[in-house]
């Protein structure tokens, strides 16, 4: 058996090290064009109503829309942040956004929402509401977007499609909505009517934690699809 001299062994070791280093450099050079860090997006989550404005009221339990809107907003916020999104809330308590001294508190509240949304530097806005209708048979979640907003319509379709996959009673279409927070938002925005408080069955479901979490997860899935992540 031929024994390598110390000089030859040193040369072979050096060559191995060089080849290994070269291989690592070539590998990372090859994957660099396709590797991108996870993008960071900011989302405004708007819990409708608040304070003196309770919104719709459940026919069976008396639950207020403003309370449920906040519950859903906080749940969606936690899910979005866990995924890596930055979140801005228009309200995080049951207090209203209006100036207590304002003669027109509704106008004061909507102007405050507009300022928060448009000063947020966010990428999209999701406004959460609960629906109501004289006929108790009316049911199903529905997503609205502002007239003329192409990106708003795309976001609405992504969210609605995701909701429909988990909730069979959800509306299968999106609709233009003439809402202040949509019309005066400078970013792609949608308004989600999560269900009908005037429908006894949906009123009960909307208050259940599992239902709320599944619904908010569906919204999150739609957001992820919108950003093509």
Question: 201-222 burial, b if ≥16 CB within 10 A, otherwise e?
Answer: ebbebbbeeebbeebbebbbbb
The pair of structure tokens assigned to 13 is 């070791």
pTM for the model: 0.83
The confidence score (pLDDT) of residue 118 equals 97
The confidence score (pLDDT) of residue 38 equals 52
Query: Which class for 161: exposed (0-12), middle (13-18), buried (19 or more C-beta within 10 A)?
Result: middle
Total residue count of the chain as it appears in this document: 229
The confidence score (pLDDT) of residue 36 equals 42
The confidence score (pLDDT) of residue 229 equals 72
Q: Whole-angstrom Cα distance, residue 162 to residue 79?
A: 15
The confidence score (pLDDT) of residue 8 equals 44
Provide the residue-wise pLDDT of the chain in tens; the chain has 229 residues.
Answer: 444 454 545 444 544 444 444 443 333 333 334 434 455 899 999 999 999 999 999 999 999 999 999 999 999 999 999 999 999 999 999 999 999 999 999 999 999 999 999 999 999 999 999 999 999 999 999 999 999 999 999 999 999 999 999 999 999 999 999 999 999 999 999 999 999 999 999 999 999 999 999 999 999 999 999 999 7
Q: Whole-angstrom Cα distance, residue 156 to residue 144?
A: 6
């Amino acid at each position: 058996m031929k024994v390598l001299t110390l000089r030859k062994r040193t040369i072979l070791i050096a060559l191995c090290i060089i080849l290994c280093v070269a291989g690592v450099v070539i590998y990372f050079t090859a994957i660099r064009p396709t590797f991108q860090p996870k993008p960071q997006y900011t989302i405004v989550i708007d819990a409708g109503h608040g304070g003196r404005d309770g919104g719709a009221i459940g026919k069976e339990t008396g639950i207020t829309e403003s309370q449920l809107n906040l519950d859903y907003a906080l749940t969606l916020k936690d899910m979005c942040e866990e995924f890596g999104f930055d979140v801005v809330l228009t309200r995080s308590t049951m207090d209203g956004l209006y100036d207590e001294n304002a003669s027109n508190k509704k106008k004061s509240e909507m102007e405050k929402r507009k300022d928060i949304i448009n000063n947020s530097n966010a990428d999209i806005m999701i406004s959460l509401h609960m629906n109501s209708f004289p006929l108790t048979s009316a049911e199903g979640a529905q997503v609205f977007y502002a007239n003329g907003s192409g990106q708003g319509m795309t976001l609405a379709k992504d969210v609605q499609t995701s909701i429909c996959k988990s909730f069979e009673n959800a509306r299968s279409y999106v609709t233009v909505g003439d809402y202040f927070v949509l019309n005066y938002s400078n970013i792609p925005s949608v308004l989600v009517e999560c269900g009908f408080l005037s429908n006894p069955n949906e009123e009960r479901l909307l208050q259940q934690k599992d239902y709320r979490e599944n619904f908010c997860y569906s919204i999150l899935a739609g957001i992820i699809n919108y950003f093509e992540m």
